[in-house]
Amino acid sequence: MKKPLGIGMVVLMFVVLGSLPRMVVADPGPPRDVPRSAIVEIFLLKAPGLNVIGSKWEVAYEFRITNEAALWTEREKFKGTSNERVGDLLKQATAKNSLESIRGQKLLLEIPFTAETLERLRNQPTSRITLTTATMTPENVKLSHEQELKAQAFLFYSVISVYDAKLKKTLTIPVTRIWDFANFAEARFEVKIEINDDGSFNVKSSRWSLK
């Protein structure tokens, strides 16, 4: 079951997606087991040059972590004209594969967590209370902010380059995603890409995204 988000995440989703779900805050819970790494799987599901000799692809990426409060306070950095990054860098790397066989049509990225990151995830709020007009008191707003400082979110900044041997050109596909730990407690994420015959493309991924 998906868990509700803190105010900062909710408001940011409103800014990005144009809809505002119910506002909630979280109560802290006891320490718990958390994954020791994040996994991002990128699939190229369709492209004219799949299984064609010479086709290949690669991804250059940054995987970061921040709290939900920062998603709101640093929201200007998510605008399309900004090259600034939000959050603490966990890993920066590249991965590549040939597209000549089905085995190469998935890129598997593993991001190990440091001891500090594991502690941040263990302190993630585990239960939520609902903020309504009647309950939005100064005390509850303060509690909300405290919980947003503990609630963590992952940020995935990437540029995927696909050389399609049939189209005889390289396609550049930027993918930026935010995944909140409350709703992705296993820290496993997917990005699925389809390239059409005219070179246009579609990108789908876990949960919601910034475009």
Q: What is the pLDDT of residues 8-30, one digit of tens each?
A: 554 444 344 333 333 344 444 45
pLDDT at 191: 97
pLDDT at 9: 54
pLDDT at 31: 56
Q: What pTM was computed for the model?
A: 0.79
- CA distances from residue 102 to 82, 163, 183, 192 in whole angstroms, order as listed: 36, 16, 31, 14
Evaluate whether 41 touches 191 at the Cβ level (below 8 Å). yes
Q: What is the pLDDT of residues 171-200, one digit of tens each?
A: 999 999 999 998 999 999 999 999 999 999
Task: Work out the angle between the directed axes of helices 7-17 and 138-150 (0-180°, nearest 10).
Answer: 80
Q: What is the pLDDT of residues 68-112, one digit of tens each?
A: 889 888 888 887 777 889 999 999 999 999 999 999 999 999 999
